[in-house]
Amino acid sequence: MGNNLEIERKFLIENLPEGFADFPKKKIKQVYVDYETDHRFRLREKDGVFIKTVKRGKGLVREESEEMVASDLFDEYWNKTHLPKIIKDRYHIPFKGKLIELDVFMENLSGLFVAEVEFHSVDESTQFEPPAWFGSEVTEDERFTNYLLALYGNPLKNK
């Protein structure tokens, strides 16, 4: 927890890889409390742990700060029906020394699958060769930020 830089590439997944369900997964619920041009503020529940996250920037490199919060704070905002929300299962798939986080979205985003991979440096991110089952890269496509997905739905279905 704390402040750090997040260097992350994001890819659409058209067909889930064989055996993905055998990997560890966590249920994630997120509610977006505030969104400004320079930052996003969300509350997340993941396996009974509640985290407040503020992200600044966009694209490949962003600043991220996290801190644990009480469950009642999460519940207070989750129960506000007007706030954008996401529910997803996140699978953790090891791949060539990296960790693929495969998000399988639920409810109004059902059928959307996105994989994210974090890196220690921009150089490392440019050297990454994704597995064959990855689809188009959407790292720089803001429509695929979780906030905009929660707010507007799946952009692939909204064409």
Pick the CATH number of 2-152 from 1.10.10.10, 2.30.110.10, 3.40.50.920, 2.40.320.10: 2.40.320.10
- The whole-angstrom separation of Cα 94 and Cα 109 is 25
Q: Specify the higher pLDDT residue, 28 or 4.
A: 28
pLDDT tens column, 105-127: 999 999 999 999 999 999 999 99
Give yes or no for residue 38 having a pLDDT over 80. no
Read off the pTM: 0.91
Output the average pLDDT for the chain.
Answer: 92
For the chain, the structural domain boundaries read 2-152
